[in-house]
Every structure is written in structure tokens, then in C-alpha cells.
Amino acid sequence: MKIIDKPEILYGELSTPRKIRTRGLLRISPGMLWIMLFLSIPALSLIVISFTTRGAYGEIEWVFTLENYKRLAGYSLFGWSPDYLKILLRSIIAGLITTVVCIILSYPLAFFISTRDKSTRYLWLTALIIPFWTNLVIRTYAWQIVLAPDLPIAKLAALLHLVPPGSPLYP
């Protein structure tokens, strides 16, 4: 006996659960494609590259080896050293602490912003995003000041004939 999907009305149209599922899959497919393209593929390429070796000038040589993982575990030409493992553990702990702090701060803030009326919600979102923009702007201007033509770094570069005299080190 064949089971027939029970039709129901969805958004003013007569639809079946199969059509509803298909619509749902079609709606999430751009996001899934985005994640695959910009998250999964780069992560997989990093995993593959981690098994390769470096050439004399830092280029990737497609010779597959476990040397990078042996070095990470502390084995080298001079015996065993726990330095890399300590650095790895410290990095993992810092990442976990950062994740927990972000979750603790972000969920109440997201709830607060989502409960505001529409007119002030965008104001709160703008107030939240502006510090991220100012960081980039301030950094850009700081580099322009540091690389200005009348400062010692640019004068040293001109003395070494890396740039023409009196020109800044930024484009």
C-alpha cells in the first residue's frame, strides 16, 4: 500500500510535505554552497597542505610526509622537545576561553537587541558594528603615518635605494 502525502495549505498554496521539504532544501542551498565554498574547501586544503613539505624558498613541494606532525608532537633532529605541544595547548586554551566569553556576551546582547523595537534595533546594531570599522580605519591611518616620507623608516629605505627619496612607503 502506497502512502500518499497529505496535502495542506502553506502560504496560500495547496502543498504536500515533500514540496515543503524541497522548498526548504532550495532555500538553504545557497548558504550551504557558501559554507562549502568558503569554509570547508579551504579547511580541507589546509589539511592536505599540512602533509606536504616546503621548498628552499617556502613554496609547497608536493612530497607527502608526516614530518610536520612529528615536529608538532615534539620530535626533531635534536630529540624530543615539548615546546610545540606547549604552544599548541596554550593556543587551544586561548581559543576555548575566547569562545566561551564570546558566547556568554553575545547571547544576552543578541536577545537585548532583538527585543528592541525596529527603529532602535538598527541603532543598536550600528553601535555594535562601528568599533570593528574604526579598528580598520585607525590601523590604516596609523600605517600611513608610520610609513610617511619624512620618518626614519622611509629615510632608511631611500638610503638603501629601495624607494626614491622623499616618497612614502605606501601606495
Cell of 41: 574547501
Cell of 144: 600611513
Query: How many of the other CB atoms lie within 10 Å of CB of 84?
Result: 15
pLDDT at 5: 61
pLDDT at 117: 93
What's the farthest any 2 CA atoms get from each other in the chain? 89
Nearest to 49 by CA among 37, 67, 33, 62: 62
Residue 11: pLDDT over 70: no
The one-letter amino acid code at 121 reads: R
Helix (H, G, I), strand (E, B) or coil at 151: coil
List, in order, residues 6 or more apart from 73 with CB less than 8 Å away: 84, 85
Nearest to 80 by CA among 71, 89, 91: 71
Half-sphere exposure of residue 164: CA atoms within 13 angstroms, side-chain side: 2
pLDDT at 88: 87
Domain residue limits, the chain: 1-49, 120-171
| pLDDT, tens digit (0-9, with 9 covering 90-100), for 118-148 | 889 999 999 999 888 887 788 888 888 888 8
pLDDT band at 6 (very low <50, low <70, confident <90, very high): low
Q: What is the pTM of this model?
A: 0.51
Nearest to 139 by CA among 109, 111, 170: 170
- The DSSP output letter for 15 is E
| pLDDT, tens digit (0-9, with 9 covering 90-100), for 60-109 | 999 999 988 888 888 877 777 788 888 889 999 999 999 999 999 999 99
Q: Cβ distance 73 to 83 under 8 Å? A: no
| pLDDT, tens digit (0-9, with 9 covering 90-100), for 148-165 | 888 888 888 888 988 888
